[in-house]
Amino acid sequence: AMNETAEAKGRVKEALASLDETTRAAVVLRYYEGKATKEIADLLEMSPAAVDMRLSRARGQLKGLLADLVEADVARMVGERR
């Protein structure tokens, strides 16, 4: 399972790289650094509403790009329970 994890991490990196620079920065600040919307807004010089909109759009894009990864994980977990 070790290289499956490495593969998943690689896929997440690729998916993040497909986002525009500002959106990627917002995602990293929120989900990797745990920063609040207001703080991200100040750092990226945009309104908190704009940050929320970018994060929402990014979640949609990332879900689309990574849906098969999640499905594979769920299938494996369900399979392990039998």
Q: What is the pLDDT along the chain (82 residues), one digit of tens a residue?
A: 557 788 888 999 999 999 999 999 999 999 999 999 999 999 999 999 999 999 999 999 999 999 888 787 778 888 776 5
Q: In this predicted structure, what is the pLDDT of residue 71? A: 82
| Alpha carbon separation from 21 to 16, 24, 79 (Å, rounded) | 9, 5, 38
Which helix (H) or strand (E) is 65 found in, with range?
Answer: helix 48-81
